[in-house]
């Protein structure tokens, strides 16, 4: 990397960060479509970077002709909507064919500025990593990548009826892992998965746990929360929060609730199973499947569905619940678990992925091996029906959640950006980068070939 006069550029904290989020906008409501924990991650870290004087520009694909080209999400944070393919009707699996169009939009936006406008690129999810790879070599700045989920991991733990991730994604992830200057993981477990399944370089892999908004998600009155949601004050409330799709396994909660009622029919007078979220991903193929399962299990009188909730509304859901269930087949971390615990609500979670980090088993909640409804019924009852244990776990939940914050996550990211930039400056000669504006023919051909392979697979 070099300055405009061709000399080495000194290492320094970034002034401007380019964030790539191809398939989902940070402006979308989590719990809808493809919006989830990754959206929360991008929003929270971008806002905190801006408060530290770092300008952030987030590039995402426009999904409507009515979206403005640029939106100020917060002071110092811009969201740029780029046209790449039809505005509507494209799922994640359709987007590899639009990567060249999206990359072209990113390049045009950067070309309007003076050389060296962005100091760092942070790509989220493999689609963004493909574009980030090209931009890194075009601009002569380091690429930091967060996978959030990994195809090989998901395919090893598929829910019944859930289709495997396509080979195009596996290939794309392999390429991004090989090219990125830093790989950000949420937990040591995810780091091990990258090393074992993708042959990642351990020296370029950094574990930075996500955080929780400790100003918003706080303990509060369960009685007030239940009143606002129209729930009886003495109800036994089991809650699920998130996208409704096989991967997240909300069906496990319903089957466990049915088992609890089989064991104790009198519980029906007090039980409420609260599901907050909307169909997403492969769940869109049968958007009413969960409601139909509830009917088949005889839960219509205890089952209540809420649409995806914004932050303030979500706090009330967490506070109203006796326990929040996170029965996912795979989670790179599990932000819902942290948010619930920050509200003093214990969590019962599957012992998969990053959930053993997000939940302190036996202290802030319980971990369950597998997805057998009887075992889940045991764990849910042990928390929801035992007031003394629930109160003890609630105290542990708050203490555990307080170990995580978005400020800590952001500080670690900025330190990683600076470290990647310093290493990049040493490793890349000015001749190879061409002042950050041109590529040598061999590198350009390699990058274009990579994008083409992904688009054609």
- Show binding-site residues for UDP-N-acetyl-alpha-D-glucosamine: 29-30, 37, 243, 248, 309, 331, 339
Beta bridge partners of 13: none
Written as six digits, the tokens of 145 are: 């990548």
Residue 394 half-sphere exposure, CB side, CA atoms within 13 Å? Answer: 22
DSSP state letter for 279: B
- The label of the residue with tokens 């479509």 reads 33
CA distances to 3, 13, 74, 140 from 9, rounded to whole Å, are 5, 12, 30, 11
Beta bridge partners of 409: none
- Binding site per annotation, positions for 1D-myo-inositol 3-phosphate: 23, 34-39, 92, 125, 149, 169
- Binding site per annotation, positions: 23, 29-30, 34-39, 92, 125, 149, 169, 243, 248, 309, 318-319, 321, 331, 339, 345
- Determine the Cα–Cα distance for residues 127 and 92; give it in Å rounded to an integer: 9
CA distances to 11, 250, 260, 383 from 255, rounded to whole Å, are 55, 9, 9, 17
Helix (H/G/I), strand (E/B), else coil: 159 = coil
- Determine the Cα–Cα distance for residues 36 and 181; give it in Å rounded to an integer: 26
Helix (H/G/I), strand (E/B), else coil: 198 = helix
- Determine the Cα–Cα distance for residues 174 and 209; give it in Å rounded to an integer: 23
* 287 contacts: CB under 8 Å, gap ≥ 6: 279
- Binding site per annotation, positions for Mg(2+): 318-319, 321, 345
Under 8 Å between Cβ of 148 and 37: yes
Return left, alpha or beta for 87; rule: phi > 0 is left, psi -120 to 50 is alpha, else beta: alpha
- The label of the residue with tokens 């979220």 reads 277
- The label of the residue with tokens 């890194």 reads 136
- Determine the Cα–Cα distance for residues 181 and 178; give it in Å rounded to an integer: 9
Under 8 Å between Cβ of 280 and 245: yes
* 380 contacts: CB under 8 Å, gap ≥ 6: 238, 253, 256, 257, 260, 323, 325, 348
């Amino acid at each position: 990397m070099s300055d405009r006069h061709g000399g080495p550029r000194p290492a320094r904290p970034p002034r401007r960060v380019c964030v790539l989020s191809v398939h989902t906008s940070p402006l979308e409501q989590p719990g809808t479509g493809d919006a989830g924990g990754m959206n929360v991650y991008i929003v929270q870290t971008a806002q905190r970077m801006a408060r530290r004087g770092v300008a952030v520009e987030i590039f995402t694909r426009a999904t409507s002709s009515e979206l403005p080209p640029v939106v100020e999400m917060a002071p110092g944070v811009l969201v740029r909507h780029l046209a790449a393919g039809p505005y509507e009707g494209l799922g994640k699996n359709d987007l590899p064919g639009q990567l060249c169009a999206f990359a072209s939009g990113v390049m045009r936006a950067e070309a309007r500025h003076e050389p060296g406008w962005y100091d760092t690129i942070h790509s989220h999810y493999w689609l963004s990593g493909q574009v980030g790879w090209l931009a890194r070599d075009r601009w002569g700045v380091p690429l930091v990548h967060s996978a959030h989920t990994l195809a090989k991991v998901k395919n090893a733990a598929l829910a019944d009826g859930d289709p495997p991730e396509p080979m195009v994604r596996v290939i794309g992830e392999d390429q991004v892992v090989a090219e990125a200057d830093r790989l950000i993981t949420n937990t040591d477990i995810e780091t091990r998965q990258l090393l074992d399944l993708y042959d990642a370089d351990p020296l370029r892999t950094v574990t930075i746990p996500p955080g929780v908004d400790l100003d918003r998600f706080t303990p509060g009155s369960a009685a007030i929360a239940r009143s606002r949601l129209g729930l009886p004050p003495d109800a036994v409330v089991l809650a699920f929060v998130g996208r409704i799709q096989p991967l997240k396994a909300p069906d496990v909660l319903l089957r466990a609730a049915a088992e609890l009622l089989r064991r104790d029919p009198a519980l029906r007078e007090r039980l409420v199973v609260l599901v907050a979220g909307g169909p997403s991903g492969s769940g869109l193929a049968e958007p009413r499947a969960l409601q139909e399962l509830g009917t088949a299990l005889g839960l219509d009188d205890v089952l209540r569905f809420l649409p995806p909730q914004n932050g303030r509304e979500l706090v009330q859901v967490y506070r109203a619940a006796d326990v929040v269930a996170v029965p996912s087949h795979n989670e790179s971390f599990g932000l819902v678990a942290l948010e619930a615990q920050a509200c003093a609500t214990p969590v019962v979670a599957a012992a998969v992925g990053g959930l053993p980090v997000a939940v302190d088993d036996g202290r802030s909640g319980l971990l369950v091996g597998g997805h057998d409804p009887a075992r889940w019924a045991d764990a849910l009852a042990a928390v929801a029906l035992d007031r003394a244990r629930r109160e003890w776990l609630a105290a542990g939940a708050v203490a555990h959640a307080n170990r995580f914050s978005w400020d800590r996550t952001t500080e670690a990211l900025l330190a990683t950006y600076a470290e990647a930039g310093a290493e990049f400056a040493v490793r890349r000669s000015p001749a190879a980068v061409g002042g950050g504006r041109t590529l040598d023919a061999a590198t350009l051909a390699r990058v274009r070939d990579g994008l083409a392979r992904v688009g054609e697979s």
